[in-house]
Amino acid sequence: VTSRVTVLSALTPYIQRARAFTGWDHSSLKMRSLGGELPWNYEAVATKYASRAGRVLDVGTGGGERFATIAAGSAATFVATEEWGVNARVAYDRLCPAGIALVWASSMRLPFSDSAFELFLSRHEAIEPAECNRVLAPGGRFLTQQCAPDDWRELRRFFPRMTVHPQHDRLYPEAFRDMGYEVSFQRNDYEVAFGTLGDLVFMLMTAPWTIPDFDPQLELDALMAVEAELSRPEGIVLSEGRYLLDARKPG
Ligand SMILES: C[S@@+](CC[C@H](N)C(=O)[O-])C[C@H]1O[C@@H](n2cnc3c(N)ncnc32)[C@H](O)[C@@H]1O
């Protein structure tokens, strides 16, 4: 039987790295989809639309990692928002040299005038459909990739306080349809394997909205139960989903 001390000492480097984490790059994490690639490529679609737009907004840009790539080589005007102060600074440092404005603001109430943008992007950031509609120009486009609201649902029985997200996979498309947008929607569900318990802890600490006040040191028993019950040869396996919503505003 693995002792709590052994588990905690294996988790410690992950906990320390998670506490220092900024930006939004999880590529060092051992976490892989067991479902292969998504059937769409969000960055490719966003880049294609950005190349045709005059003014492009990305909300909740994280450290600006993806938006910098989407904007590279395009002549459009790009603006990003970020609400978390730590990442607003990281995104500013990355985007400013590329001529991209970073505004420290919430995605729910945007400090922009009506019809200011032709393309509104949100990757894994909650949005307010009426606010998107307000800042989008007629004929403009809203493109988002979102995590499914019931991601990692297997964890709920170990952490009953896990956040219950609104059913935005239904609510967002409905809201845009109701506003007269032409809407296309795709969803893909699959399983994801975390290489070690440390990788899962790192993810839960750096996405603190998943389990409010998550503290791996205080919740070691629950984490050890997760490892014991959800481990398969591929790793610790959880259900995950992504959807792509592409909505065009009437001209
Ligand atoms: C899931 S991230 C997506 C970032 C970006 N759109 C991307 O896809 O790379 C969503 C938002 O959560 C913010 N965030 C990350 N860590 C946070 C934390 N510890 N507390 C509050 N917000 C955080 C990010 O800065 C970002 O704006």
Q: Among the atoms of ligand 1, which is closest to the Cα of residue 145?
A: 8
Cα gap 159→157, rounded to integer Å: 6
Instruction: For residue 207, report the distance from its CA to the centre of ligand 1, in Å.
Output: 8
In this structure, the residue with its CA closest to atom 25 of ligand 1 is 62
Output the six-digit token pair for 234.
Answer: 């591929």
Query: pLDDT confidence of 2, banded at 50, 70, 90?
Result: confident
In this structure, the residue with its CA closest to atom 22 of ligand 1 is 84
Average pLDDT over residues 213-222: 97
Is residue 32 in contact with ligand 1, taking CB distance under 6 Å? no
Note the pLDDT of residue 73: 84
Closest CA relative to residue 109, chosen from 88, 134, 84: 134
| pLDDT of 1 above 80 | no
pLDDT, tens only, 120-163: 999 999 999 999 999 999 999 999 999 999 999 999 999 999 99
pTM: 0.97
Catalogue the long-range contacts made by 167-176 (C-beta closer than 8 Å, 24 or more residues apart).
168/126, 169/241, 169/243, 172/127, 172/129, 172/144, 172/146, 172/245, 173/245, 173/247, 175/129, 175/130, 176/129, 176/133, 176/142, 176/245, 176/247
pLDDT, tens only, 27-63: 999 999 999 999 999 999 999 999 999 999 999 999 9
Average pLDDT over residues 212-231: 98
Pocket test for ligand 1, best of 59, 87, 102, 144 (most atoms within 8 A of CB): 87
pLDDT, tens only, 53-112: 999 999 999 999 999 999 998 999 999 999 999 999 999 999 999 999 999 999 999 999
Output the six-digit token pair for 208.
Answer: 């603190």
Is residue 151 in contact with ligand 1, taking CB distance under 6 Å? no
Is residue 250 in contact with ligand 1, taking CB distance under 6 Å? no
Is residue 14 in contact with ligand 1, taking CB distance under 6 Å? no
Backbone angles phi, psi at 108, to 5 degrees: -85, -30
How many Cα atoms sit within 13 Å of 214 on the Cβ side?
A: 26
Is residue 123 in contact with ligand 1, taking CB distance under 6 Å? yes
